A and B are shown apart, each in its own frame.
Chain A
Amino acid sequence: MSADSTGAQPSRATDTSIDEKRRTRWGPVFWVAVVIVALFIIIAITADWIAPYDPYAQDLVASSQGPSAAHWLGTDQLGRDILSRLMVGSRTGIIGPAVVAICATVIGTLLGLWAGFSGGIADSVTMRSVDFAYAIPPLLLAIVLVGILGGGYWLAVAVLIVLSAPADVRVVRAAVLAQREMPYIAAARTLGLSQMRIAFKHILPNVAPTLAANALLQFVVALIALSGLAFLGIGVSAGTPDWGLMIAENRSILDLNPWAVIGPALCITILAVSVGLLGDRAFDVTTKRINER
């Protein structure tokens, strides 16, 4: 008979198997990423107090030095402390991409809801504009625009917002179109609920995990784009402690103090990978949990 099975204790109805449970748990990698991102944010906020030197203070006597007890990561050509500049540089590294991610998500969501719900001409115009925006190479446009307008960091951020939002428009509009056909949306319409309420209370929560994951991904893309622009000398003004700019400025002393280049490169990579991981896990776990609770 079932001799082999009766040995197992009939456990209380746990409907998730070990496999699925692993997917619904955040897991250690997620927490490592959380700690890293949190550290970057804390450093960005407190940089003025915890940075060992003034990031702008030049000391031509001690220029292009390798790591030492006084300067843990050495100095650049003008003798500025690399560690201090990295710490202060985390501000432009976080704020710009965060603004891009948040603004793009909000604008994209509103446009997507509007296009999906009104349909017809409004939908066509919005979606063709989105297609148009997709066809533009973002970095190239940013270089040209910022070059012509002569603007700095915030103009670059604005350009990236405009170019990131279409992705959200697509995601939200597709969700609206798919969800409109769901019986629970039909039920909400049958209840006579307003379009606004259906859009914000019924449809939006169901796409929230996707939007959150998308926003984190946009953060990563914006971080790399802004760093790339800074490297090319577009965006932040010369001399500003910014990771992208630091790589550009310190290229020439790679042999004297490699940390002046490796440091900012590592910062960009670690932050980008950590935020990317957050987005990935957040999406997996939240969608799983919604479907199981």
Chain B
Amino acid sequence: MSAGPLLTVDDLSISYGSRLLVNGVSFALDGGESLALVGESGSGKSLTARAIADLLPAGVSATGRVLIEGAPVRRPRRRGRGDSPRVGLLMQDPFTMLNPTMTAGGHIAETLRAAGRPRAEIPAEVSRRLAEVGITDASVARRYPFELSGGMSQRVALAAALANDPALLLADEPTTALDATTQHEVLELLRQVQRDRGMGLVFITHDLRVAFDLCHRVVVMYAGSIMEEAPARIMRRDPLHPYTRGLLESIPSTDHYQGNLRGIPGSVPATHTVLDRCPFADRCDERVDACTHVVPPLVEVAAHHRAACIRIGELVSTTTATSVGSARVTDHVGDEVVVRVSDLRKSYRVHGGVHPALDGVTFDLRQGEALGIVGESGSGKTTIARCLLGLTSPTDGSIEFAGFGVVPAQRTAQDRRAVAQIVQCVFQDPYSTLNPMHSVGTALGEALSQRSRPVTDRDHEIASLLDRVGLPASMATRRPASLSGGQRQRVAIARALAVEPRVLLCDEPVAALDVSVQAQILELLREVNRSQGTSLLFITHDLGVVRQITERVLVLYRGEVVEQGATDVVLDAPTHDYTQRLVAAMPSTHVAQEA
């Protein structure tokens, strides 16, 4: 703290027109320190980062002060040549961040030239910079972004962001789009670079576990305001704000089975609707009357530990105890095999060659069982789903459903209808899973019409379906665009259940949802699985979700099942090399346990 903090954000408010999006945020960062901004969608974390880089979108304006090394930030295009910018920026999607018409080396060279490096030095400097981010293969510098993998692109993007030797690096969810093992590598790299360069790092993420692992300090934001700020060590051990606690409890544990998944009910409000109250009040278990008409100040509750909650004094004593190692319930699993997949193969023709997406996959799914399929992108897990649903036809192998028999490779209209009554699907993206032109009631009514049991009272059945997934009957008249992500995913589940299928195929159903909403949906799926004996085929990349939902798991790697068995056994003692790497890459969740 000799020369003052590296970054000072003082009473930063951001608004779009008359709507406030970020409400008076203040924090500071010293050189060589790393700070995580954690929050769900709508928390204002990314806007705050953009304001720091002075890169707010058009029409969005900020008030307050942002100082870097004591000087206000200026837009890059207003800077003169040679006036070295002090902020580097790393963004979520490595493929859109790199210019597709420039080589990897070109990105770095461009910045080096702008920083006034002599031309002759640049090629050597580019390879030195690439080596810093772990790229030793000299040919990478000459490749274009589309020739690089996701992890490699993100490394190149990092090297480009570091090319002007920034004092401060802003990283906005740089690993969210990457596979678990790659994510782990990039985070390690980021940690190492930050330490070696003694650079300040502001890391934006929705994942508290990643924040704890990577950063010195953590700021938790909610609906445009800071809820809690503390050193990572302290917050990991002793989170104070009810929101932070709820967020931590919402993360499905990879280490042990939880009998009850605790999400936070409701969803994030818009900042401008909660200006006169605690933004979290509506979803808070600890709420008292005062919470809904007093703005809680962000006060220092301990050294370096700030929290915005008027009941913080009373809550300090009650430490959270997450449910530890509940016993699994398995009595809903029957003996009948409802899906039998034998030696399933699917290959695509790519660039003249044949690329096998599935290479002989065999498994059974029993009645009432929840079977997980894990694997990274490109492992073939979604191809299995598409083959089962008849959205694509397998090259070889067979799929057999109980009560139907072996499905022919080319399905007829009758086959489709019959299979539809056995297997239904919940898709990943809640924003495109519902037809934007159809109301919720229309969508559910259409699904009901496909059921084998006749529909007697359509409206009543739609209402009870909505009730089944925890939505009010009045939702039937709404269009998808007016629903939140979690609500849409509930409607999608109701649509699948309308047909009364024996198997519910879930293709990453919570991957696109906020953490606090994920747990609600997972709990709903678990309940469907248990109370109705519907078998679940659960496709995911998240080992925490696998642990919580499934009894048995298949690990898929490059189109082959490399390991399978009881979920607890596979995750606790993985035998295959890939499974071991996958388990090791998961950010640890034993958070509140040690307390």
Contact = CB atoms under 8 A, between A and B. Distances in A.
Interface string B420-451: 11011101110011111110000000110010
A192 B416 contact: yes
Given A8-B20, A184-B434, A190-B424, A2 B13 contact: yes
Contact of A184 (B15, B20, B433): B433
A19 interface: yes
A68 interface: no
Contact of A202 (B24, B390, B435): B435
B275 A291 contact: no
A187 B24 contact: no
Interface string A12-28: 11010111000000000
A12 B273 CA distance: 7
A18 B416 CA distance: 47
Interface string A187-201: 111111111000001
A192 B420 contact: yes
A4 B20 CA distance: 11
Contacts of A192: 416-421, 450
A5 B175 CA distance: 34
A239 interface: no
Most buried by A among B59, B421, B438, B482: B438
Contacts of A206: 435-437
A191 B499 contact: yes
A128 interface: no
Given A1-B24, A183-B427, A189 B436 contact: no
A202 B446 CA distance: 11
Contact of B17 (A6, A18, A188, A292): A18
A290 B435 CA distance: 11
Nearest to A195: B413
A11 interface: yes
Contacts of B425: 186-187, 190
A188 B437 CA distance: 13
Nearest to A20: B17
A69 interface: no
Nearest to A7: B275
B81 interface: no
B481 interface: yes
Given A18-B17, A189-B391, A190-B424, A293 B481 contact: yes
Contact of A17 (B17, B389, B424, B429): B17
Most buried by B among A186, A195, A206: A186
A111 B169 CA distance: 54
A191 B446 contact: yes
A182 interface: yes
Contacts of A19: 17, 59
B18 interface: yes
A10 interface: yes
B433 A189 contact: no
Interface SS, A side: helix
A183 B429 contact: yes
A190 B495 CA distance: 11
B56 interface: no
B273 A10 contact: yes
A186 B433 CA distance: 8
A190 B389 contact: yes
A205 interface: yes
Contacts of B18: 8, 11, 17-18
Given A5-B20, A11-B272, 4 more contacts: A5-B24, A182-B432, A187-B425, A189-B416
B446 A193 contact: yes
Nearest to A192: B420
B420 A191 contact: yes
A17 B19 contact: yes
Interface residues of A, number: 35
Nearest to B507: A183
Contacts of B437: 202, 205-206, 290
Most buried by B among A2, A11, A19, A193: A2
Contact of A13 (B273, B389, B391, B429): B273
B16 interface: yes
A184 B446 CA distance: 13
23 contacts: A2-B23, A5-B275, A13-B270, A15-B270, A17-B17, A18-B18, A184-B433, A186-B391, A187-B425, A187-B427, A187-B433, A188-B435, A189-B389, A189-B391, A189-B416, A190-B390, A190-B424, A192-B421, A193-B450, A205-B435, A290-B437, A292-B481, A293-B479
A15 B23 CA distance: 18
A215 B362 CA distance: 52
A291 B436 contact: yes
B11 interface: yes
A170 to B, nearest CB: 21
A241 B389 CA distance: 62
B63 interface: yes
B482 to A, nearest CB: 6
B450 A4 contact: no
B501 to A, nearest CB: 10
Contacts of B420: 190-192
A171 to B, nearest CB: 17
A98 B429 CA distance: 41
Most buried by B among A1, A183, A190, A195: A190
B492 interface: yes
B225 to A, nearest CB: 9
B341 interface: no
A191 B270 contact: no
B147 to A, nearest CB: 25
A148 B368 CA distance: 74
B424 A191 contact: yes
B122 interface: no
B148 interface: no
A187 B495 contact: yes
A191 B481 CA distance: 22
Nearest to B431: A183
B281 to A, nearest CB: 13
A292 B17 CA distance: 18
Given A184-B434, A187-B425, A6 B495 contact: no
Interface string A251-293: 0000000000000000000000000000000000000001111
B274 interface: yes
A48 to B, nearest CB: 42
A291 to B, nearest CB: 5
B432 to A, nearest CB: 5
A215 to B, nearest CB: 18
A7 B294 CA distance: 15
Interface string B460-493: 0000000000000000000101100000000010
Contacts of A202: 435, 437-438
Contacts of A10: 272-276
A154 B323 CA distance: 79
Nearest to B434: A184
A35 to B, nearest CB: 29
10 shortest interchain CB distances as A-B pairs: A192-B420, A192-B417, A205-B437, A2-B24, A183-B427, A17-B17, A184-B435, A192-B416, A293-B479, A183-B433
A186 B427 CA distance: 9
Interface in B521-549: none
A4 B446 CA distance: 50
A194 B446 CA distance: 12
Nearest to A17: B17
Contacts of B273: 10-13
